Each structure stands twice: as structure tokens, then as C-alpha cells.
């Protein structure tokens, strides 16, 4: 009797299995984990929103992308836990915007051990880190170029026939620099290359003030208020490593009745384009969140397919001024 039951059970199982395999397969689910350094960041918000939207366009009858996006809250320990969870839950591919670049080698060791292809974005791991596995790639923009474009925007203003940039007429540019987070290549290189472009045009510079606003609008405003307290009417121009800090600086200048001081940013966010329209921001540089989001998603899909990718993939920056800003308004 027992034997008969056992046989019946096996038969039932085989039938059950074959019944299953006769059903239409349905789309295969691909689990995508996206780790963002923090959600409270204007540029990265545009970026992550576009990645999600673009993944949706990639769904077909055969594949469905299930996308989970995490907020690292600007804390590497938190982000590493989120990545550990993605790994534990067998995610198929990851896109990572690291909080702290010095964590790159440890994170790459983890995804490599789990064999999960990974696209790094926005914060560039070192060449040695990138060389440590073939299923990783980096998508970004060449920070040097964004700095150079900022400098050129100011040089153009300085060279205009009716230019009022050199307020004290000493033939030198007295400047304030508002920098992004220390860990970020964009902060270092924009700071360096914006000034290089000015000196390359034969204009001498005097650095009055250089501090970190950490990419943040409120901090940018606070730092600018401090700069105004210390240097007041000596200030001739403000370079900000991104638009949020530039917009914060404009608030501080407004409060001090110093709206004639040119301010230049980077990113070309919607509020920055508005500020160009209103004449409060003299220029910015498009940091192409849409282009970078698409390249990141396409790269994730290619890595999943087993394609070999370039280690470093670049999306170009574009200079944005009152002459061409309307092209970038969405
Ligand atoms: C930069 C961007 C900043 C900020 C930062 C975050 O590329 O210009 O606004 O978003 O990335 O890592
Ligand atoms: Ca001067």
C-alpha cells in the first residue's frame, strides 16, 4: 500500500511538472539593484529617476526588469549594508554611486565573489580598482571639461567690451570658490580647471575664499555669506562646483545687495536654467543626467549579456549660457 502511494506521488509530481512546463513561460525577471549615495541631491535625483524610467522602456515579453533603488544617506556603512542585501538576495546586476571612493576595492571584491556584474556611476574608482575585475565598468563625465567650460564662460564675460567684471580695475580676477565634497573627483578637478582656463587666457587671479559647500544649496548659501562678511566688495566672481551651491550663493548675494557679481555653476538643473533666464546665474555646464542614465542602463544590460565593455565610458559636458540655455529646458 505504502509503495503504491509512493508511486502515485511520483506520478503526480511528474505530471505536475510537465503541466507546468506546458504553460507559457512569461517574462524572465531580472533583478537590478541601484545604490545612490544619497537621495537628497538634485542632480542624482534626476539621474536615478531617468534610470528607472529608462529600464521600464527595456521591458519586453521576454524580460522584465525589477528595479530597486536605495538611499545611502551619504553614509558608506549604510550603503555597504544595502549592497550586501542586494548580494544576499541574488540580484542579477548592480549600478553603484559610491558614497566613499575608498570603499571601491572592498565593494568590487564583494560583487566579484558573488559574480554580479556592476556599473559604477558618478564617482570614479581608481584605475587599479577598475582593473580588478572584467565585469565592471564606470560611466561618468570628464570633470576637467566642466571646469574648463566654467572658466571660459567667465573669460568671455571679462573680455566683453562693456565688461564690469574687474570691479577694482587691477587687471586681476578676485574670486570665491565653492567646492563640492572632498571625496569627489568632480570637486577637485572643477576647482582646478576652472581657474586654469582663466589663467590660460592671460588673466591673473586672486583667490579670496575657497571652502566646501558639499554640493548643498543651504551650505553654499552659508559659505557665501561668510565670504561676503570677510571680503565684501572685493569679490568679483563666484565659481561653484555645482548649481545647487551656485543658487545658494545667489541667495546670499541677493541678501547683501550684491547681485552684480557673476556666479557660474555646473549641472544645468531646472532651477539653474531658470536662474539663467532671470539673469541671476551667468552660466552653467550641462552634466547630462539623461545621457549618463541611459549609458549606465545600457551598460548594465550589456554586462548581463556577457559583453565586454570599456572600463571608462564618458558622456560629454556642454557649456550653457544665456545664448543657448533654451535648448536644455525640458
Ligand atoms: C556631481 C554633480 C553634483 C552632485 C555630485 C554627487 O557630478 O555635479 O551636483 O550631484 O555629482 O556625487
Ligand atoms: Ca580685479
pLDDT at 19: 46
Residue in 215, 243, 272 to alter for ligand 1 test, most ligand atoms within 8 A of Cβ = 215
Q: Tell me which ligand sits closest to the C-alpha of residue 233.
A: 2
Find the helix packing angle between 104-114 and 76-88, rounded to 10°: 10
User: 217: Cβ below 6 Å to ligand 1?
Assistant: no
Structure confidence at residue 170 (pLDDT): 98
Please tell me the number of the ligand nearest to residue 234's CA: 2
Q: Whose CA is nearest to atom 10 of ligand 1?
A: 43
pLDDT value of residue 178: 98
Q: What is the pLDDT of residue 3?
A: 58
Q: What is the pLDDT of residue 12?
A: 52
Atom of ligand 1 nearest to the CA of 269: 9
Q: Whose CA is nearest to atom 6 of ligand 1?
A: 44
What pLDDT, on a 0 to 100 scale, did the predictor assign at position 5? 55
Q: Which bound ligand lies closest to the C-alpha atom of 165? A: 2
Exposure of 201 by Cβ count < 10 A (0-12 exposed, 13-18 middle, 19+ buried)? middle
Which grid cell is 314? 564618458
Per the rule left: phi > 0, alpha: psi between -120 and 50, beta: everything else, 88 is alpha
The per-residue pLDDT for 25 is: 74
How many C-beta neighbours within 10 Å does residue 230 have? 12
Signed CA dihedral, 73, 77, 83, 88: sign only: negative
The total of other beta-carbon atoms located within 10 Å of residue 217's CB is 21
CA-derived radius of gyration, the chain:
25
Identify the DSSP state of 27: P
Atom of ligand 1 nearest to the CA of 184: 12
Calpha distance 108→170 (Å, rounded): 52
Which residue owns the Cα nearest ligand 1 atom 1?
A: 186
In testing the pocket of ligand 1, which one of 122, 216, 289 has its CB within 8 Å of the most ligand atoms?
122
> 73: part of which helix (H) or strand (E)?
none
Using alpha carbons only, give the angle 310, 35, 38 rounded to the nearest 5 degrees.
Answer: 120
Distance 129 CA to ligand 1 centre (A): 21
Q: Which residue's C-alpha comes closest to atom 12 of ligand 1? A: 122
What is the C-alpha to C-alpha distance for residues 6 and 12, in angstroms, rounded to an integer? 10
Per-residue model confidence (pLDDT) at position 65: 98
Secondary structure class of 172 (helix, strand, coil): strand
Asked if residue 92 has its Cβ within 6 Å of ligand 1, the reply is no
List the chain pLDDT tens, one digit each, 330 residues. 555 555 555 555 544 444 455 556 789 999 999 999 999 999 999 999 999 999 999 999 999 999 999 999 999 999 999 999 999 999 999 999 999 999 999 999 999 999 999 999 999 999 999 999 999 999 999 999 999 999 999 999 999 999 999 999 999 999 999 999 999 999 999 999 999 999 999 999 999 999 999 999 999 999 999 999 999 999 999 999 999 999 999 999 999 999 999 999 999 999 999 999 999 999 999 999 999 999 999 999 999 999 999 999 999 999 999 999 999 999
Please list, in sequence order, all residues whose beta carbon lies within 8 angstroms of the beta carbon of residue 31, skipping any fewer than 6 positions away.
Answer: 66, 68, 89, 90, 91, 92, 93
- Separation CA 41–CA 21 (nearest Å): 47
Ligand 1, from 36, 145, 217, 287: best to mutate by most atoms within 8 Å of Cβ?
287
Q: How many CB atoms lie within 10 A of CB 222?
A: 17
Residue 26 CB partners (closer than 8 Å, separation 6+): none
**pLDDT of res. 1:** 55
Phi, psi for residue 169 in degrees, rounded to 5:
55, 40
Neighbour count for residue 303 (Cβ, 10 Å): 22
> Which residue stretches of the chain are H helix?
2-22, 42-57, 76-88, 104-114, 127-130, 143-159, 185-200, 217-231, 243-255, 270-278, 289-304
Q: Is there a contact between 231 and 176 (Cβ–Cβ < 8 Å)?
A: yes
Cell numbers that stand for 327 in this block: 535648448
From the alpha carbon of 43, which atom of ligand 1 is closest?
Answer: 10
Amino acid at each position: 500500500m505504502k509503495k503504491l502511494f509512493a508511486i502515485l506521488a511520483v506520478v503526480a509530481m511528474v505530471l505536475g511538472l510537465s503541466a507546468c512546463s506546458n504553460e507559457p513561460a512569461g517574462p524572465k525577471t531580472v533583478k537590478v539593484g541601484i545604490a545612490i549615495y544619497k537621495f537628497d541631491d538634485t542632480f542624482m535625483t534626476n539621474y536615478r529617476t531617468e534610470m528607472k524610467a529608462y529600464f521600464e522602456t527595456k521591458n519586453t515579453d521576454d524580460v522584465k526588469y525589477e528595479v530597486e533603488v536605495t538611499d545611502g544617506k551619504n553614509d558608506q556603512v549604510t550603503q555597504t549594508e544595502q549592497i550586501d542585501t542586494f548580494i544576499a538576495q541574488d540580484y542579477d546586476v548592480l549600478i553603484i554611486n559610491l558614497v566613499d571612493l575608498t570603499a571601491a576595492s572592498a565593494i568590487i571584491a564583494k560583487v566579484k565573489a558573488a559574480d554580479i556584474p556592476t556599473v559604477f556611476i558618478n564617482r570614479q574608482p581608481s584605475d587599479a580598482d577598475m582593473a580588478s575585475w572584467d565585469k565592471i565598468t564606470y560611466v561618468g563625465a570628464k570633470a576637467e571639461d566642466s571646469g574648463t567650460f566654467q572658466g571660459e564662460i567667465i573669460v568671455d564675460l571679462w573680455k566683453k567690451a562693456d565688461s564690469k567684471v574687474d570691479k577694482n580695475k587691477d587687471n586681476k580676477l578676485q574670486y570665491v570658490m565653492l567646492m563640492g565634497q572632498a571625496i569627489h573627483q568632480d570637486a577637485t578637478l572643477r576647482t582646478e580647471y576652472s581657474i586654469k582656463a582663466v589663467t590660460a587666457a592671460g588673466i591673473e587671479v586672486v583667490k579670496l575664499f575657497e571652502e566646501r559647500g558639499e554640493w548643498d544649496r543651504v551650505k553654499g548659501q552659508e559659505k557665501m555669506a561668510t565670504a561676503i562678511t570677510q571680503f565684501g566688495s572685493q569679490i568679483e566672481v563666484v565659481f561653484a562646483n555645482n548649481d545647487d551651491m551656485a543658487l545658494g550663493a545667489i541667495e546670499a548675494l541677493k541678501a547683501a545687495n550684491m547681485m552684480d557679481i557673476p556666479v557660474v555653476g555646473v549641472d544645468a538643473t531646472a532651477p539653474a536654467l531658470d536662474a539663467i533666464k532671470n539673469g541671476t546665474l551667468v552660466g552653467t555646464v550641462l552634466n547630462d543626467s539623461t545621457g549618463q542614465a541611459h549609458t549606465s542602463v545600457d551598460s548594465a544590460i550589456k554586462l548581463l549579456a556577457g559583453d565586454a565593455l570599456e572600463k571608462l565610458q564618458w558622456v560629454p559636458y556642454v557649456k550653457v549660457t544665456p545664448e543657448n540655455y533654451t535648448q536644455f529646458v525640458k
